[in-house]
Chain A
Amino acid sequence: MPAYEFPGGITPPERKDRSNQSPLRNAALPTQVTLPLKQHSGNPAIPCVAIDDRVQVGSLIAQRDGMVSSNLHASVSGTVTHISENAITIDADGLDRWQVLPSLDWRSEDHQTIIARLDSCGLVGLGGAGFPAYIKAQIADHHRIDTLVVNAAECEPYITADDLALRRYPTDIMEGAQMVARLCGAHQIVVGIEDNKPEAIHALREALSHFQKSDCQHPVSITMKVIETRYPSGGERQLIKKLLNLDVPSGGLPADVGVLCHNPGTLLAALYAVRDGKPLVERIVTLTGDAISKPGNYWVRLGTSVETLLQQVGVANQQLHQVIVGGPMMGLPLSTLDAPVIKTTNCLIAATREELPPTPSESPCIRCGACESACPVQLLPQQLHWYARAENDGTLEKLHLFDCIECGACSYVCPSYIPLVQEYRSAKQRIRIKRIETAKADHAKHRFEFRQARLAREDAEKQARRQARQAQSRQMSGSSKVADSATPVVDLRSLRIAQTAAKAAVRKAEKTLARAAAQDPSQRHDDLETQLATAQENLKAADTRLAEARATMAQQESP
């Protein structure tokens, strides 16, 4: 398999065999679910049910708010018992009655219908970021997509959810990939998978050879590339480099190089949403860690509390040291076991103290460069560390802090146990807040300038009207002989210059706004519009003053 290299990377212990030994199972139906309104990137959804409403599995309970947001559905049948600012609680009736949408045939339906279905089913990326899937499907409107990459690398230690999904549903996942490829107009599908999942690779191979026999059903060619196991090959940018030898531009999207990335779980859920009309109400979660006795992968209803789930798989409370959501490299420790499983929960690690011991205390950086050779983006982590401590934000940006993908490889190799990634995260956060504040201040300034310009324009117009009235009255009284010596000598030239400058300013503001709008049509550009309006007001004022001055001149000369 030809694979290209991304720089750096590490090979931490995998510890995947703790959860990939047993088949995929269903977790018990929860008696109560708590469904947070924000389970995705973007705005929280808005509840559309009331307390005591009866719901079925798949009933819409909250609607998306705005573009980047996602619908939310009941994951059990029962009664809505509590609606708070953040979440909706449903008590299950144990009947598990489903309410599904009509089935669609993705091969014959038009794109809009399918995209609308993905939207209404509340589908988001199940890999971790939770980006609404319907927006991703619309990407073909703005970008030409050549390749759909199925990100089956699953490079984080412990996690085996995609592995088990691929073993169990290889044909469904590939069909989902075909559907998404059709939606975005991709010509090929490339599956990237790490070589530590032999069973999934085998299952995929069989599914693919089966596909080749029925070509017409699956028009887009699928290739599978088995890559060596190295963290973070499952990072979007790293995987695209590895499979296609393309560099996603800094600050850009895979779509900028004609690629769309989806993980297998998302494709499976997308197919179920379209083919079976099933909204996103359950997902596969890896339950693992030394503190539980029945590790494995489970279909879990969204909203099930972590505690209930762990009890089902036999958690030893005395040994439990911490629960981590996600993988050990990029995941977060849970502060409470009350937390529910949400759309982006791919793994829960119930770890003992021996398994994931606390980090030893940090010692000074000796600039050994281990982090630099581990960094998959070729940053200089030790320099970033230095400037992050000093809060030298300018230099941090010059050192490309915002290219950091927060994979944690640097922290992992650091011999001084410096929590490098946390430092970068908080530095990024600090810089973002600063930018927002600057933008706010700019906005206020621009609004003030607009007001000034409007007042100036009104002033100029008022004066022009007064002048006109005076001129008229003078003509009426026929006292034109009285040379109006009181009129100030007008400087026509400087007024003309002012008018030209104002015109240029308007043109510049128009251009800036047009460029910004073309680059990012989904965004609003209030501030730039204010700036344009200011420039226009200034131009009007300049025009009025010039016209008035010309009129005065003409009057003075004509008699």
Chain B
Amino acid sequence: MSMMHASQLTTKSLTPTAHLMRWVIVATVPGLAAMTFYFGLGVISNVLLAALFALGAEALVLKLRQRPLQPALRDSSAVLTGVLLGASLPPASPWWLIGIGVIAAIVVAKQLYGGLGQNPFNPAMVGYALLLVSFPTYMTLWSPPQPFISENLWPQITGTLSASTLDALSGATPLDAFKHKGETVLASEFWASQPLPEGTLNAWRNIALAWLAGGLLLIAKRIISWHIPASMLASMAVLATLFYASDPSHFASPLFHLTTGAAMFGAFFIVTDPVSAATSRRGKLLFGAGIGALVMIIRTFGGYPDAVAFAVLLMNLCVPLLDIYTVPRPTGQPKSQQHVKHGDSP
């Protein structure tokens, strides 16, 4: 005799998996809009291409694995991965770059591990990390704020832009610029020299705020819990403050760290991927804090200006351990965590 399923009570008002995914996609709109506003249509083309590729890749692998296509494609998880990967790529990314990233994300990181719910690593970040280490020239191709419709948009997408134009287009991100400012240059001198084109810092700050708005929407809708973003941002802020307080002339301010690069986007849209994150509340706090700390360490002492992707992947590795050591104490269990062995005679 099997018990009836309780959700029979309210099938219609429930939020099934696909709704969760769609809400996350909806919540990326402010961030994407802000990015498009500052960096032009390249952002939109990235996202659309990545989403399309993701659907195609998912369908292809499902077909090869002889799994039903419909439910998996309709749950929007592949599209979401595509959107998130697309949003993290530089606006001038050529189509093949996006394609390779998507294949790494969907085929390798997700489907080869068994599909939705089975992947130990965040698929979008696997794709991103692969691209970052394989194609550094393209992946650091962040232009300064540019007109809405760039005249080079089409050649950018098709990847037929000449090398010289490519160079001319690219500019440093604030994190990048600060990272490579040179040991001897003081922070105040660096900023005084106006190292970035007009409005760059402002653009990044506003984009971060837009991501934050989307993230807060997700928390308000209870699509994600506050634990991971809060602990990640808090741990970044604490470490940044410590560095900054120890030597303000060489380290950037906490505000700078939180509002440039992928901090906000990562905190609300990347690290909150439930599949590859820790499960218990305590585990989530530790997971977020670990990512925040790794981001700060890699940004400050490592080779890459931004570090969210690597930090997330490294902490994904720790999730099984976190899950084992952060099992909450159920109501009524003794306070000291002695694992009572059942059926064991003394």
Q: Which residues of A contact B (CB under 8 A)?
A: 6-7, 12-13, 157, 237, 241, 247-252, 322, 324, 328-333, 335, 356-361, 363-369, 372-373, 376-380, 382-383, 397-400, 402-403, 408-409, 411-417, 419, 421-422, 425, 431, 435, 438-439, 442, 512, 515
B5 to A419, Cβ gap below 8 A? yes
Whether B300 is near chain A, meaning CB under 8 Å from some CB there, is no
A398 to B16, Cβ gap below 8 A? no
- Please name 29 pairs of A and B residues whose Cβ atoms are closer than 8 Å in the assembled complex, sorted by A: A6-B331, A249-B332, A251-B340, A322-B4, A333-B4, A356-B9, A357-B8, A357-B11, A360-B16, A363-B16, A364-B17, A364-B116, A364-B118, A365-B117, A366-B77, A366-B275, A367-B275, A368-B20, A380-B328, A382-B279, A399-B327, A408-B6, A411-B5, A411-B6, A414-B7, A438-B343, A442-B345, A512-B345, A515-B346
A415 to B14, Cβ gap below 8 A? yes
Given contacts A252-B332, A403-B332, A422-B3, contact A367 B17 (CB under 8 A): no
Q: Given the complex, which residues of B lie within 8 Å of A380, measured CB to CB?
A: 279-280, 327-328
A-B contact sample (15 more), CB < 8 A, given A380-B328, A382-B279: A12-B9, A157-B9, A247-B331, A248-B332, A332-B4, A357-B8, A364-B118, A367-B275, A367-B279, A368-B274, A378-B329, A400-B330, A403-B333, A419-B3, A512-B346
* A315 → B minimal CB distance (Å): 19
CA distance A149 to B323 in the complex (A): 37
* B6 → A minimal CB distance (Å): 4
Closest to A256 in B: B332
Main secondary structure on chain B at its contact with chain A? loop
A412 to B4, Cβ gap below 8 A? no
Closest to A368 in B: B274
Q: Given the complex, which residues of A lie within 8 Å of B5, measured CB to CB?
A: 359, 411, 417, 419, 422
Q: Given the complex, which residues of B lie within 8 Å of A330, measured CB to CB?
A: 3
A421 to B8, Cβ gap below 8 A? no
Closest to A249 in B: B332
Q: Which residues of B contact A (CB under 8 A)?
A: 1-11, 14-17, 19-20, 71, 75, 77, 115-118, 225, 274-275, 277, 279-281, 323, 327-334, 339-343, 345-346
B279 to A369, Cβ gap below 8 A? yes
Closest to A397 in B: B342
Given contacts A368-B20, A425-B3, contact A435 B343 (CB under 8 A): yes
CA distance A373 to B7 in the complex (A): 16
Picked from A359, A367, A376, A399, the residue with its CB within 8 Å of the CB of B11 is A359
Main secondary structure on chain A at its contact with chain B? loop
Q: Given the complex, which residues of A lie within 8 Å of B323, measured CB to CB?
A: 383
* A425 → B minimal CB distance (Å): 7
* B73 → A minimal CB distance (Å): 12
B9 to A412, Cβ gap below 8 A? yes
Closest to A371 in B: B279
B8 to A359, Cβ gap below 8 A? yes
A369 to B274, Cβ gap below 8 A? yes
Closest to B10 in A: A13
Residue picked from A324, A367, A438, most chain B C-beta under 10 Å: A367
A417 to B7, Cβ gap below 8 A? yes
CA distance A330 to B9 in the complex (A): 12
Given contacts A237-B332, A331-B4, contact A367 B280 (CB under 8 A): no
The 6 closest A-B pairs by CB, nearest first: A364-B117, A359-B5, A408-B6, A412-B6, A250-B332, A403-B330
Picked from B11, B340, B342, the residue with its CB within 8 Å of the CB of A435 is B342
Q: Given the complex, which residues of B lie within 8 Å of A248, measured CB to CB?
A: 332
Q: Given the complex, which residues of A lie within 8 Å of B19, measured CB to CB?
A: 415
Q: Given the complex, which residues of B lie within 8 Å of A414, measured CB to CB?
A: 7
A400 to B4, Cβ gap below 8 A? no
* B83 → A minimal CB distance (Å): 16
Given contacts A335-B1, A411-B7, contact A250 B279 (CB under 8 A): no
